[in-house]
Each structure stands twice: as C-alpha cells, then as structure tokens.
Chains A and B, each alone.
Chain A
Amino acid sequence: MAYLARRTGQALIVLAVAFTATFVLLQALPGDAILIKFESPELGLSPDQIADIRAAYGADNSVIEQFLHTLTGFVVGDFGYSVQYGTAVHELIGAALPGTLALAGFGFLVAVVIAVGLAVLSTLAPFAWLRSFLRSLPGLFVSVPVFWLGIVLIQVFSFQLRLVPVIGADPVQGLILPVLTLAIPISAPLAQVLVRSIDEVQLSPFVAVVRAKGASPARVLWRDVARNAVLPTITIAGVLIGELIGGAVVTETVFGRAGIGRLTEEAVRNQDVAVLQAVVVLAALVFVAVNLVVDLVYPVLDPRLKRKAVAA
C-alpha cells in the first residue's frame, strides 16, 4: 500500500515537472499562436487591429501571470482554447482521443501477437535456415519507416487490390491498415527482446534439467521458458508507449484519421500552445500510468521482486 502511495506521489511530481518544462519551453519559442494566426499577412489586418486582438487574448500579460492562469486552469480541468481552431482544447482532445486509443490499443495488441508469433516460430520452426530467417525479420521491421509502410499498404490493399477503402471506411475497416502500419514497427523490438531472453532462459541450468527429463521443446518453451522470458519484454512494452505515440502521429496523418497524433502535428505547425501544453501533460500522464502498471505487475510475475518491494 505504501509502495503504491509512494509510486503515485512520484507520478504526480513527474506530471508537475512535465507541465512546467513544457510551459517554459513553449514560452521560449520564437513567436506565438496569435502572431502566427492574426499577424500573418494573409488576413491583412492593420497593426491597431492586431494590438486589440493581442490584448483580448491576454497574449502580452507577464509570463508569471500566464503560467498561473494556465496552471489553475489545468488543476480545474480547463485547458483553454486552441487559437488555431478557436475550439476549447478539452473538446478537441475529447474528439481525438477515442480514435487514438483504438489505434494505439489495437496496434499494440497486434504487435504483441506478431512478436510472440515470431518468437515462438523462431524457436520451434523445423529448419535451421527458417529459424534464422524468422530471427532476422524484426531487424527488417524496425527499419521500415512508418510513413512509407502506411503508403505502401494503402496503395496495395486499398487502391490496387481494393480490399479495404481508405475514404468512407466503416470504423472496423478504417482500423485494419492503420493498425498494421503501427503494429509492424512496434512488434520488432518486442520480438527481439523476447527472442533474446528465450535464448538466455533456454541456456539456464533448470531448463537443461527439464530437458533431461525428456520434455518436448514446445513444452519446455510454454511451461518453463516463457514465464521467465516475458519480464524484460514487459519492460520494453512500457517504453514502447512513446513509440506508439510517435507512430500514431505519422499513421494518423497518412490515413487522414482524427486523433491526438494529428492534432499534435497541427498544433506544432501552428504553435498552438494551449493544445501542445494539454497534449504533453496527457502524454506524460499516460506514460506515468503505464510505467506504474508495469511496476505493479512485476511483483505478481516474479515473487522475488515482491519481497524486495515490501522490504524497501
């Protein structure tokens, strides 16, 4: 219980630091969203009109005032307005989040399935050449650019073979290609770590004992090796959240999907500070939460860690 409280406290500190750092960094950037939107020559506004707008948005208040204003807003769940769209940030995020959650969630699941499939096959497949070929696949997957992969999948499966539409797809159809695009590069590090730890566990003495007792390779893998090999893979899975978010940015843009990634990309392009601030804090929240879950799952899988946690 104390462990949980301490880890939660740490998580809150991480969030506060992320918030402050983002605020400072965004302030340090040249220009601001109002400059980009309203001073752009395209609107043809006169200097007086622009001065009025800056005053109306409070853009020329002191940094401290702006910080306190933003912070109190965040604490009560008010993330302000996007200057680019004019829309409330919580509305933009609310509209974008489900799409990204579905994409990232299924993307991760499919990545796990691919990774486990590769790891199992590369251990159990009949021929040595086939096993070594399967082992080389993650290296290939990890080096495929998400952007390129997305376009190739669309060109082939949607435009040439016409199996799934990209435009006017129903929610399920609309997920198939983006999920694959995201899953393939994410599966690579998972598979690599899983294969390596299976190898290591295979070499440990207790496995030799089980083998000597006459167990089949499949039984050894499932009953004895898998459980031990999965720990490092879970650690990597936690770290992959970052990559999942990065992959979502590209995937959502290529497929024209609504989502946090696309929203972020646009906010960066227009230096829409309110949106960026909210997205960074949200991302930090997800990252912290996932790592918290990973830490809490560890002791369940490995009782030795539970003893340590209690002792500490």
Chain B
Amino acid sequence: MQIIAYLIPVSLFLGGLGLGAFFWALRSHQFEDPEGDSRRILNDDWDEHPKP
C-alpha cells in the first residue's frame, strides 16, 4: 500500500496541471472564436499574432 503515498499526489499533480492549462487557455481568450480557430488550421499563412 506504500504505492498510494506516491500515486495519490502524482494523480492530483497531473490533474492540477491539466486544470492549470485550462485556466491559461481560458485567460488567454482561446475560447472566444471556436469556429474560426477550427478553420484557421487549414490556413497556409503562418499566424504569429497573439489573439486580440
């Protein structure tokens, strides 16, 4: 059962990492234009501009 002492913190940490990534995406306006973003993938231009 020693393994629990590692696995629980590890799973929480990994989950927290995912949550953090979601927060970052939300705060940097990445959910404002879902339809446009799905089309921009097909765009040949290199788009280095940050989101407005």
Partners in one complex: no
Which residues of A does B touch, CB under 8 Å? none
Residues of chain B whose beta carbon lies under 8 Å from any beta carbon of chain A: none
